[in-house]
Structure 1
Amino acid sequence: MTDQSMRAFLSQLDKLGALHRVKRPIDPKFEVGAVLALRDRGPAILFEQTGSLPVLGNLLVSRERFALGLNVAPEKLDDLCLQALSHPIKPVMSGSAPVHEVVQSGDIDLRASLPVPTWFERETAPYITAGVIIAKDPENGRRNVSIARLRLEGGGRIMAGIAKNHHLNLLAEKAKALGRRLPIAVAIGNHPAVLLGSQLYLGLGDDEFDNVGGMLGEPLRLVKCKTVDLEVPADAEIVLEGELDPEEQIEEGPVSEFHGFYVSYGAGLGGRISCITRRHDAIYQAILPGYASEHCLLGGIAIGATLRQALQRMIPAVRRVLITEGGMGRLHAIISMHKPRLGEGKRAAMLAMGQVNLLKLITVVDDDVDIENPREVEWALAARFRGHEDLMVIDGVKADRCDPLHENLTVTKIAMIATTRPGDGEPLSRSEFVRAPKSILDRVTADIGQY
């Protein structure tokens, strides 16, 4: 098996000059977050002196960085995600693991044990932001893997901020109906495939670890937890073991969201961590929350992959889906299509809005447009979009509570169809690009370094 740890990727970044080490002492309260925000698109940053464990941030701040971490060419990143969805590989169990080198149980003090950052001025406590949460359905035992923000409440107590439709919350509600608490494990410091796999939009009961294996091209190696009946990535840096108590409601107050504003969602679920296991030289991984590249990309790449799969099942002409960073990795999408028939662009946009509740601005272009190049997308709008026919405006659509502009949980959704139509490709039409003969272009392209 290949090395499935985060540190293997760190070593790769270090060799490429894409890992920056901060050797001066730094305070996890606000200072770590301020540095990560000001160097948002730069190298990964390892803070070596935080008072406890080193802190790693800005690991996956570009699509190129994700591709590197998944050992695939950048242009093949979407295809790899699609392969992971269509060809999952089940995990395998290991009898021992690096994450069990140190075991701490009994009276847990999370603040003393871990350098968890406090991120923003109005947030009231530190938040774990890169913790991959593993839980099982209390009725059928099926595994769920996700990320939710976890606030430290003192000692081993935590508060989980989870949307009502989040699968983890649904499992907690099931446990509540059975009169139980929900056991959880939180893996921190994971391979990029584990992080990305945890964000895939799957059905309740589908195991995200199977899709992580599809990304890796081999089974993900798991190990049994020490105190709860759960399995976690064997090569993680740190694992927290405990439970959520669906009967305990803790008011959260202002918290940052992906759009970069504060929101107040009310109460979150209480819980307690009773055991910490880790590597002896563990690195604490953090993801800068709010409107930050890693936060937006982690959700956006996963949403784009699952949406592309769903659309292609219905409309084979769909080629790619990009959830844009400018749209916060959640709200805006660009869909490319190959020779769509009349009306298919609008159908794709409507299906996308139905599939992903968050989406509210969709642009549809032909597949001769590079959807990762904003200049080309804007060109398509200028050259192929007919406002009186190709603009869709739908008022009063049910919105997600995360949307920064919702009114009574509704928003206006918009689609712009910037594609060619049958007949547009005729000679001298507005869709025929001016270019040299193809044979000359191909020869010059092959020898461009000689010019």
Structure 2
Amino acid sequence: MGLNTSLAAANAATSAKQDLRAWLAMMEAAGEVTHVTGAEREREIGGIVDIFQRKIGNPLVLFDEIPGFPKGHRILANLLTSVRRINMTVGNSPDASEIDLVQHWRRYMKEAKTIAPVEVTSGPVMDNVATGQDIDLFRIPVPRWHEHDGGYYIGTGDMVIMRDPDTGWINYGAYRVQAHDKNVATVMCSKGKHGDMIQRKYHERGQPCPVAVVCGMHPALFMIAGLEIPHGKNEYDAAGGLIGEPVQVIRGPKTGLPIPAYAEIAFEGFIHPNDKIDEGPLGEWTGYYAGGLKKEPVIRVETMMYRNDPILLGAIPGIPPDDDSFYRGSYRSGAVWNQLEAAGVPEVKGVWSHAAGGSRLWLTVAIKQQYGGHAKQAGLIASQCHAGAYVNRFVVVVDDDIDPADMDKVVWAMCTRFDPREDMELLRGCWSSALDPMAYSERDPRNARVVIDACKPFGRRDTFPIVVRASEEVEALVRGKFGALLPK
């Protein structure tokens, strides 16, 4: 794991960048929080979150005084469906644009800065520690997030932590975790995900897989859980690089797994071979109940820890935009951009993964055309590079006068620069998921997709009709004289 246990490193870490409560205070000061009291967990909390998530930029929602639970046992949802809040979380100017945010992620990936975590002996997560008969996951007000869900999902905005038995590599991912009983939960990891691979290593040896689940943490740590950190790379190292300091962790008393010291809620236990129970359904990130009711691995909980007045973090999948799709979309846009350049595609001017596609199904790439076929090359590579290939449906390539994050302009380019006879490629048998409602089948989760060239025809760029828009000179003139009256 590469723990740095020096006292100096421990003292260097600060709670401001690791404590959800410090982040929440920052959001309160920025006017980004709506408080709701008295909503119950069966229908009302989920129904309220659904309404908040329907529009990008709606505030956070903090629930308290939940019937049947002590005041102070809270739920925080609709976290990162806002470019402004994501910018504030990663240290950017709150007013930075969508493409500015993508550029931030590009720099983060290129620099690949890592800071190893630091082990400490205690932390706020240890305010309350329960073992044996005292464990009760339902001490936390876990909601039924959607009315047709098959149960209560304590893990949506979460970190599921495991250790590779061969190398000691620590991995954490944002996998869905359903609470079934006081000390029983399930975890659902799609095939090929790192958590699934680590579980199988233990089970092939006939051994239980140690696991820890964190259900409330600083959103920067949560964001790393949902990103595609390469196999073998420690997410804690990546999180330290993102926040600029080592993440403080305590060791789980039963598993020895590292748990953030400033976590709100955490539990640990073991996944035994062939120990599965019915899990789901859960309304998922594509906006459908794809996947249904299935047998999934059981976590037998042996330790539960939580802070006084704990906050459950909810990152609720559903009809996009949602937390799952929106923050991942800005990161994925940066990853696709970097991978296009690495593949030799020149003059990429922007990439945006549209929230309506759940951060995966729709990609727009802006280029400054350099040669015939440039647009098609960019589109085909974007549709199949690692960051863009999984569950993609549309890739649209536009000229550099189009902001790829402005969907009105993207659709305008498609309507006026796209020739269906020449500018569309249909790709079959591509990488998808059973959560894709248009996958071929559950047993064959591939899909088809299209690449659309919505650039001006390369051979007609100089004769293509000019755009009806004030020149930069005229815009500078009127903004200089009437700027106070004009929208930004």
> Same fold per TM (> 0.5)?
yes
Deviations 1:318-362 (A, max 9, x none): 233222111122211111223343223222222222222211211
Aligned to 2:176: 149
Tell me, yes or no, if structure 1 residue 222 matches structure 2 residue 249.
yes
One-letter amino acid matched to 2:425: M
158-167 or 8-17: bigger deviation: 8-17
Aligned positions of 1:7-156 closer than 5 A: 7-24=21-38, 26-40=39-53, 41=55, 42-50=58-66, 51-52=69-70, 53-73=73-93, 74-75=96-97, 76-87=100-111, 88-95=113-120, 96-128=122-154, 129-156=156-183
One-letter amino acid matched to 1:59: L
SS at match of 1:163: coil
Aligned positions of 1:342-361 closer than 5 A: 342-354=372-384, 355=386, 356-361=389-394
Return the alpha-carbon distance in structure 2 between the equivalents of residues 15 and 310 of structure 1.
Answer: 38
Return the alpha-carbon distance in structure 2 between the equivalents of residues 358 and 19 of structure 1.
Answer: 33
One-letter amino acid matched to 1:323: S
Aligned to 2:453: 417
Return the alpha-carbon distance in structure 1 between the equivalents of residues 451 and 36 of structure 2.
Answer: 45
Aligned positions of 1:160-175 closer than 5 A: 160-175=187-202
Q: In 2, are the aligned partners of 1:185 and 1:241 still within 8 Å (CA)?
A: yes
Return the alpha-carbon distance in structure 1 between the equivalents of residues 110 and 249 of structure 2.
Answer: 22
Q: Identity of paired residues, percent?
A: 25
Pick the aligned partner of 2:362 from 313, 327, 332: 332
1:390 offset after TM fit, Å? 1.0
Aligned to 1:430: 464
Aligned to 1:392: 425
Return the alpha-carbon distance in structure 2 between the equivalents of residues 39 and 369 of structure 1.
Answer: 29
Pick the aligned partner of 1:368 from 379, 382, 401: 401
Q: In 1, are the aligned partners of 2:418 and 2:454 still within 8 Å (CA)?
A: yes
What is the number of residues matched between the two proteins? 448
Aligned to 2:342: 313
1:381 offset after TM fit, Å? 1.4
Tell me: CA distance 1:94–1:138, structure 2 relative to 1, closer, same or farther (3 Å). closer
Q: In 1, are the aligned partners of 2:118 and 2:246 still within 8 Å (CA)?
A: no
1:387 offset after TM fit, Å? 1.9
Q: In 1, are the aligned partners of 2:391 and 2:447 still within 8 Å (CA)?
A: no
1:108 offset after TM fit, Å? 4.8
Gaps of 5+ in 2: 1-12
Return the alpha-carbon distance in structure 2 between the equivalents of residues 83 and 169 of structure 1.
Answer: 30
SS at match of 1:388: coil
Return the alpha-carbon distance in structure 1 between the equivalents of residues 423 and 360 of structure 2.
Answer: 23
370-379 or 296-305: bigger deviation: 296-305
Tell me: CA distance 1:333–1:282, structure 2 relative to 1, closer, same or farther (3 Å). same
Tell me: CA distance 1:304–1:8, structure 2 relative to 1, closer, same or farther (3 Å). same
SS at match of 1:407: coil
One-letter amino acid matched to 1:242: G
1:67 offset after TM fit, Å? 1.5
Q: In 1, are the aligned partners of 2:183 and 2:300 still within 8 Å (CA)?
A: yes
SS at match of 1:188: strand
Aligned to 1:178: 205
Tell me: CA distance 1:43–1:232, structure 2 relative to 1, closer, same or farther (3 Å). same
Q: In 2, are the aligned partners of 1:390 and 1:416 still within 8 Å (CA)?
A: yes
1:450 offset after TM fit, Å? 5.0
Aligned to 1:302: 331
Return the alpha-carbon distance in structure 2 between the equivalents of residues 230 and 442 of structure 1.
Answer: 58
Tell me: CA distance 1:413–1:251, structure 2 relative to 1, closer, same or farther (3 Å). same
Tell me: CA distance 1:316–1:187, structure 2 relative to 1, closer, same or farther (3 Å). farther
Q: In 2, are the aligned partners of 1:352 and 1:359 still within 8 Å (CA)?
A: no
Return the alpha-carbon distance in structure 1 between the equivalents of residues 227 and 300 of structure 2.
Answer: 27
Aligned to 1:449: 483
431-440 or 335-344: bigger deviation: 431-440
SS at match of 2:274: strand
Return the alpha-carbon distance in structure 2 between the equivalents of residues 175 and 37 of structure 1.
Answer: 38
Q: In 2, are the aligned partners of 1:108 and 1:275 still within 8 Å (CA)?
A: no
Tell me: CA distance 1:164–1:450, structure 2 relative to 1, closer, same or farther (3 Å). closer
Return the alpha-carbon distance in structure 1 between the equivalents of residues 432 and 449 of structure 2.
Answer: 9
Deviations 1:102-125 (A, max 9, x none): 222222543432111112333222
Q: In 2, are the aligned partners of 1:104 and 1:276 still within 8 Å (CA)?
A: yes
Return the alpha-carbon distance in structure 2 between the equivalents of residues 232 and 381 of structure 1.
Answer: 48
SS at match of 2:236: helix
Q: In 2, are the aligned partners of 1:243 and 1:273 still within 8 Å (CA)?
A: yes
Tell me: CA distance 1:109–1:61, structure 2 relative to 1, closer, same or farther (3 Å). same
SS at match of 1:198: helix
Return the alpha-carbon distance in structure 2 between the equivalents of residues 437 and 318 of structure 1.
Answer: 23
1:139 offset after TM fit, Å? 1.1
Deviations 1:427-448 (A, max 9, x none): xx32644555644543544554
Tell me: CA distance 1:437–1:392, structure 2 relative to 1, closer, same or farther (3 Å). closer
440-449 or 394-403: bigger deviation: 440-449
Q: In 2, are the aligned partners of 1:82 and 1:309 still within 8 Å (CA)?
A: yes
One-letter amino acid matched to 1:177: E
SS at match of 2:439: coil
TM-score by length of 1: 0.92
